[in-house]
Structure formats: structure tokens, C-alpha cells
């Protein structure tokens, strides 16, 4: 079912468990367009770092992906950003989250790379409020690994393991779920994004 017909369901899930897995929310042509976009950029992606400004550093032991921030440009990226902006307003109307903008990057994990358990936001700090991941892996083999694992707020109990299947969108409250990306045997591609509140 298209994303725009699922706003109520999404809002209910975020108000309840705090996360949702959405399959088939985008037209296949758009998903394919995004797969083409990330493939076209394969040699423009740059190794992602951790930390902010002054202490930003690449650290293979924590995070192994290569990224490029999304800018409106090719039609698929523009279309995706526009759909996420509609979702932003729809969630603001339903949940009063005060989501102000959306930032997102393409991410590619080479086989064997991972992202250790981390938080996208810290409680009470301005910034990231709602995390999203949209997977771009046509024909993903479920035995290849690469799952996203969400943990309870304390970071102890595993809540769910989600395979990075093509066309799947995950949303979760950034402050509530420490999470990690398990290593995969295959190249694992996605768009990771964050709806932010105003600082
Ligand atoms: C991230 C992240 C999850 C995923 O980029 O911060 O947690 O499934 N990504 O790729
Ligand atoms: Mn994360």
C-alpha cells in the first residue's frame, strides 16, 4: 500500500512501539530509480566517520559504510525527498513531533563491514528525532546477514532483527532505540535519514 495511505498506521506505531517496518510503500519504479542512483554514485561515496566536527574520524572498528548526502538532483532522489517531506508533515499533524527537516545519505556497506551498536540521538538533546532507513538491495539473499538489530532503550534486550530487503522502509524514534548493522556477505545499500527538530 502506498505510503500516503498509511500515515495513520505509521503514526499509531510510532506512538505505540516506537518503530515500524513498511514494505511496498514506494512505487517499484522509484525504488529502482534510487538503486540506479546509488549504483551510479558508487565511486563518489566516501567513508563515513563518527563524532561531530572537531572529533570527526573514520573508525573501521565502529562503522564501515561509505556515504553520500542526498541533494535534490536526479528525479528519483527528488521524488524520494518529496515523499519524506510529505511524511514529515503528516506525522507532525498526527503526533505533534515538531519535525523540522529531513537529512539523508546513501550508504553502502562492503561485504564484511558493519555499524556497531549506537544511538542516533541522545535524550533531551536537540537534533535527530525520527530515524529512517530505506533499503536498496534487489534480490537480497536472506542468508547473507546484514540485518538491522533494534535494542530496548537500555541497549540490552534485542527487540527485532530486520533484513535489508529492497523497498523496505524502517522508521524508529531516534532516542529510544540503540541499534546496530550486522555484517553481511554481500554489498548492502540503503538510504539512512533523520527527521530533525529545530536546535
Ligand atoms: C545509521 C544506521 C541502519 C541500517 O546509518 O545510523 O543505523 O540499517 N543504519 O543501515
Ligand atoms: Mn544509526
- Nearest-CA residue for atom 8 of ligand 1: 148
| pLDDT for res 71 | 92
Residue 63 forms part of a structural domain? no
- pLDDT of 76 over the 90 cut: yes
CATH of the domain at 82: 2.60.120.620
Reported confidence tier of residue 194, pLDDT bands at 50, 70, 90: very high
Give the domain range for residue 131. 3-47+75-197
pLDDT score recorded for residue 146: 98
- Nearest Cα neighbor of 91 from 22, 18, 8 is 8
Q: Which residue is closest in CA terms to ligand 1's atom 2?
A: 192
Domain-embedded: residue 191: yes
Nearest atom in ligand 1 to the alpha carbon of residue 192 is 5
Q: Which atom of ligand 1 is nearest to the CA of 170?
A: 8
Do the domain assignments include residue 88?
yes
Q: What percent of the chain has pLDDT over 70?
A: 99
Asked whether residue 58 is domain-assigned, the answer is no
Q: Is residue 65 part of a domain?
A: no
Domain count, the chain: 1
pTM of the model: 0.96
Give me the residues near ligand 2 (ion), CB cutoff below 5 Å: 120
Q: DSSP class of residue 157?
A: S
Dist CA 6 CA 20 (whole Å) = 11
C-beta of 192 in contact with ligand 1 (< 6 A): yes
Q: Tens digits of per-residue pLDDT, 44-65?
A: 999 988 887 777 888 888 899 9
Mean pLDDT over 3-22 rounds to: 98
CA angle 93, 97, 98 (to 5 degrees): 85
Largest CA distance in the chain: 44
Decide if pLDDT at 40 tops 90: yes
Range from 55-59, 102-106, 107-111, 141-145 carrying the lowest mean pLDDT? 55-59
Q: For residue 87, tell me if it sits in a domain.
A: yes
Task: Give Cβ neighbours of residue 5 (< 8 Å, ≥ 6 apart).
Answer: none
Strand runs labelled E in 52-141: 65-69, 101-109, 115-118, 128-135
Give the mean model confidence (pLDDT) for residues 128-146: 97
**56 within a domain of the structure (yes/no):** no
Q: Is residue 121 part of a domain?
A: yes
**Cα–Cα distance for residue pair 50/106, rounded to 1 Å:** 16
Kind and range of the H or E element at 22? strand 19-23
CA 173, 176, 182, 184: dihedral to nearest 10 degrees? 0
Q: Is 133 in the pocket of ligand 1 (CB under 6 A)?
A: yes
pLDDT in tens, 93-103: 999 899 999 99
Amino acid at each position: 500500500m502506498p505510503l500516503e495511505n498509511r500515515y495513520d498506521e505509521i503514526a499509531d506505531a510510532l506512538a505505540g512501539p516506537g518503530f515500524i517496518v513498511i514494505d511496498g510503500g514506494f512505487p517499484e519504479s522509484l525504488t529502482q530509480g534510487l538503486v540506479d542512483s546509488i549504483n551510479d554514485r558508487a565511486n563518489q561515496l566516501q567513508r563515513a566517520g563518527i563524532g561531530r566536527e572537531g572529533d570527526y574520524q573514520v573508525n573501521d572498528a565502529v562503522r564501515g559504510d561509505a556515504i553520500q548526502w542526498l541533494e535534490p538532483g536526479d528525479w528519483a532522489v527528488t521524488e524520494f525527498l518529496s515523499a519524506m517531506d510529505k511524511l514529515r508533515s503528516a506525522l507532525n499533524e498526527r503526533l505533534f513531533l515538531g519535525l523540522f527537516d529531513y537529512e539523508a545519505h546513501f550508504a553502502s556497506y562492503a561485504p564484511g563491514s558493519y555499524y556497531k551498536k549506537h544511538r542516533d540521538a541522545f535524550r533531551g538533546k536537540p537534533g535527530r528525532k525520527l530515524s529512517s532507513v530505506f533499503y536498496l538491495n534487489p534480490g537480497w539473499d536472506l542468508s547473507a546477514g546484514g540485518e538491522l538489530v533494534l535494542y530496548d532503550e537500555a541497549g540490552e534486550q534485542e527487540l527485532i532483527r530486520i533484513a535489508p530487503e529492497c523497498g523496505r522502509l524502517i522508521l524508529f524514534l531516534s532516542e529510544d532505540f540503540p541499534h546496530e548493522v550486522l555484517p553481511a556477505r554481500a554489498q548492502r545499500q540503503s538510504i539512512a535519514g533523520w527527521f530533525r527538530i529545530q536546535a
